[in-house]
A and B are shown apart, each in its own frame.
Chain A
Amino acid sequence: DAGVIQSPRHEVTEMGQEVTLRCKPISGHDYLFWYRQTMMRGLELLIYFNNNVPIDDSGMPEDRFSAKMPNASFSTLKIQPSEPRDSAVYFCASSARPGNTIYFGEGSWLTVV
Chain B
Amino acid sequence: AQSVAQPEDQVNVAEGNPLTVKCTYSVSGNPYLFWYVQYPNRGLQFLLKYITGDNLVKGSYGFEAEFNKSQTSFHLKKPSALVSDSALYFCAVSSTYGGATNKLIFGTGTLLAVQP
Q: How many Å from the CB of A11 to the closest CB on chain B?
A: 15
Q: Does A91 contact B (CB under 8 A)?
A: yes
Contact residues on B (Cβ < 8 Å of other chain), bracket: 20 to 34
B108 touches A42 (CB 8 A): yes
User: In the docked arrangement, what's the CA distance between A22 and B105, Å?
Assistant: 22
A19 to chain B, nearest CB (A): 19
A43, A50, A56, A95 — most chain B CB neighbours (10 Å):
A43
Asked whether A60 is an interface residue with its Cβ less than 8 Å from the other chain, the reply is no
Complex alpha-carbon distance, A36 and B64, angstroms: 27
The DSSP consensus for interface residues of chain B is: loop
* Chain A interfacial residues counted at CB < 8 A: 25
Measured between alpha carbons, how far is A50 from B102 in the docked complex, in Å? 9
Q: Are A101 and B109 in contact (CB under 8 A)?
A: no
Query: A91: which of B32, B44, B49, B96 is its contact (CB, 8 Å)?
Result: B44
List which B20-59 residues lie within 8 A (CB) of chain A. Answer: 32, 34, 36, 41-46, 49, 51
Alpha-carbon distance A93/B103, docked complex (angstroms): 11
Residues of B within 8 A of A43 (CB): 90, 106, 109
User: Hey, which chain A residues are within 8 Å of B41, CB to CB?
Assistant: 109
Contacts of B34 in A (CB 8 A): 101-102
CA of A100 to CA of B34 in the docked complex: distance in angstroms? 10
Are A95 and B103 in contact, CB atoms less than 8 angstroms apart? Answer: no
Shortest distance from the beta carbon of B37 to any chain A beta carbon, whole Å: 11
- Are B44 and A101 within 8 A (Cβ)? no
Is the Cβ of B43 less than 8 Å from the Cβ of A104? yes
Q: Is the CB of A98 within 8 A of B42?
A: no
What residues make up the interface of B, taking CB atoms closer than 8 Å to A? Answer: 32, 34, 36, 41-46, 49, 51, 90, 94, 96, 100-109
* 16 A-B interface contacts by CB (under 8 A): A42-B107, A43-B109, A45-B105, A48-B103, A95-B102, A98-B32, A98-B96, A98-B101, A99-B94, A99-B100, A99-B102, A101-B46, A102-B46, A102-B102, A104-B36, A105-B43
